[in-house]
Amino acid sequence: MINRTLIFATITLLLASCSPKTKEQWSGSHCSTDSDGWVIKIKGSPLGENYKNTFRVEDGVMKVSYSEYDTFRYEFGHIYYKEPFSSYKLRVEYRFTGEQTPGGPSWGFRNSGIMFHCQDPATIGLNQDWPVSVEVQFLGSTAERETPTMNVCTPHTHIMIGDSLITEHCTSSSSKYFYDDVWVTAELVVYGDSIIHHIVNGDTVLTYSNPQIGGDLPEGFTLPQGTPLKEGFIALQSESHPVEFRKVEILKIRQ
- For domain 4-20+28-253, give its CATH number from 2.60.120.560, 1.20.1560.10, 3.10.350.10, 3.30.2230.10: 2.60.120.560
Do residues 234 and 116 lie in contact, with contact meaning Cβ atoms separated by under 8 Å? yes
Which pLDDT value is given to residue 9? 35
DSSP 221: -
Contacts of 10 (CB under 8 A, 6+ apart): 57, 60, 62
HSE (CB half, 13 Å, CA atoms) of 57? 16
Nearest to 50 by CA among 255, 205, 238: 238
Which pLDDT value is given to residue 30? 32
Helix (H, G, I), strand (E, B) or coil at 217: coil
For residue 199, give the amino acid letter.
I
Please say whether the dihedral angle defined by the alpha carbons of residues 139, 107, 60 and 10, taken in this order, is positive or negative. positive
Q: How many CB atoms are located within 10 Å of the residue 129 CB?
A: 14
Do residues 235 and 78 lie in contact, with contact meaning Cβ atoms separated by under 8 Å? yes
Do residues 175 and 200 lie in contact, with contact meaning Cβ atoms separated by under 8 Å? yes
H or E stretch covering 33:
none
Total residue count of the chain as it appears in this document: 255
| Full-model pTM | 0.89
Measured distance between the N- and C-terminal CA atoms of the chain, rounded to whole angstroms: 41
Q: What is the per-residue pLDDT across 171-225, written as a single tens digit (0 to 9) for each?
A: 999 999 999 999 999 999 999 999 999 999 999 999 999 999 999 999 999 999 9
For residue 47, give the amino acid letter.
L
Pairing mode of beta strands 13-18, 243-253: parallel
Task: Going residue by residue through the chain, which has 255 residues, state the pLDDT in tens, using 9 for 90 and above.
Answer: 344 433 443 344 555 555 555 455 543 323 333 335 889 999 999 999 999 999 998 888 999 999 999 999 999 999 999 999 999 999 999 999 999 999 999 999 999 999 999 999 999 999 999 999 999 999 999 999 999 999 999 999 999 999 999 999 999 999 999 999 999 999 999 999 999 999 999 999 999 999 999 999 999 999 999 999 999 999 999 999 999 999 899 999 986
Domain edges within the chain? 4-20+28-253
Among the residues of 102-249, which ranges form H helices?
none
DSSP 126: T
Contacts of 67 (CB under 8 A, 6+ apart): 53
